[in-house]
Amino acid sequence: MQTLIEELTARRTQLKKAIELARHQAHDSPDGHLKISYQARKYEYYQALPKDGNLHRIYIPKQNLSLAKALATKDYAANFLRCATRELKLVERYLRELEKACPEKIYARMCNARQALVSPILLPEDILATLWEQQQFKQSDYMPEKKIYLTRKGDMVRSKSEVLFADQYLDLGIPYRYEQVLLLDDGKTVAPDFTIWDKKRKRVVYHEHFGYMDDADYRRKTLIKIDEYRRNGIYTGKNLITTFEGDGAVLNMIEIRKMMEELFL
């Protein structure tokens, strides 16, 4: 539901900007309309102007083709305005109805005593995120002595870069789990650096950071790991974020934060 509302809201913004542009084009246009005739295997353009209750057509010569373009733009803008204005009204009405009808909000409006007596069918994204964060999960116990860096959330992680990622997720209110054990479809277990709850789409996304890409053996293992994820339905563009670091390729946390905001907020 939230994703639908966001898409409709974005469409509303897009339509408003487009309508403003179309109005500007229509306002700064010459009088009349464009008429086109196909004669002797070529197009002829005419400016149609009202005269004595009829339309009077004036031939537009080639040297004045800019007039034909302006009239065509005017006619297009007028048709566009009619359609876009109609759609905008429908989008705004639908948004109002969705806001009133949103079933996810029913559970949130109930008192605690009543909530304890029912099993919710649909939940709003903030409650779903809280429940996800409260769930117990199995964390990787691989080489715990390497986890020497503390995040603000209280996780012990393996690198300073992972601290930066974890603290950014925390700052942005994006729920995450560090090195949660994941059972793949082929029966193998892995532990992605970060398992993230995508509140907007109500789904899990994984984030792997590859921090030693200047090392040849590490690169080989990285490619094998990415391919293994792909075979199990986890890949970039769907549900996997990959970041990289190496000699001469340092992290730009300003850009990474922007990426996180665009993906999850």
One DSSP character per residue, 22-51 reads HHHHHHTS-SSEEEEEEETTEEEEEEEEEE
242 touches 225 (CB < 8 A): no
C-beta neighbour count of 161 within 10 angstroms: 19
Residue among 144, 162, 137 nearest 152 (CA): 162
In the structure encoding, which two tokens stand for residue 84, read together? Answer: 């876009």
Q: What is the pLDDT of residue 28?
A: 78
Nearest in space to 80 (alpha carbons), one of 39, 20, 123: 20
Indicate whether this model's pTM tops 0.85. no
* Residues 245, 209 contacting (CB under 8 angstroms): yes
Residues 126, 136 contacting (CB under 8 angstroms) = no
The residue among 92, 74, 113 whose CA lies nearest residue 11 is 92
Host H or E run for residue 67 = helix 65-101
Token pair 């990959």 is at which residue?
242
Residue 261 is encoded by which pair of tokens?
A: 């905001």
Topology classification of domain 136-264: Endonuclease; Chain A (3.40.960)
How far, in Å, CA of 192 to CA of 245, rounded?
16
- Indicate the helix (H) or strand (E) that contains 150: strand 149-150
The CA distances from residue 177 to 123, 130, 154, 202, 228, in Å, are 21, 13, 11, 15, 21
φ/ψ region of 47 (left if φ > 0, alpha if ψ in -120 to 50, else beta) reads: beta
CA-CA distance, 265 to 261, in Å (whole number)? 5
- Can you give the pLDDT of all 265 residues of the chain as single tens digits? 667 888 999 999 999 999 999 998 888 789 999 999 998 889 999 999 988 778 899 999 989 999 999 999 999 999 999 999 999 999 999 999 988 888 888 888 889 999 989 988 888 888 889 999 999 999 999 999 999 999 999 999 999 999 999 999 999 999 999 999 999 998 999 999 999 999 988 899 999 999 999 999 999 999 999 999 999 999 999 999 999 998 888 899 999 999 999 999 8
Q: Per the structure block, which two tokens stand in for 45? A: 């353009």
Cα angle 172, 178, 179; round to 5:
150
The residues facing 156 across adjacent strands are 150
pLDDT at site 126: 86
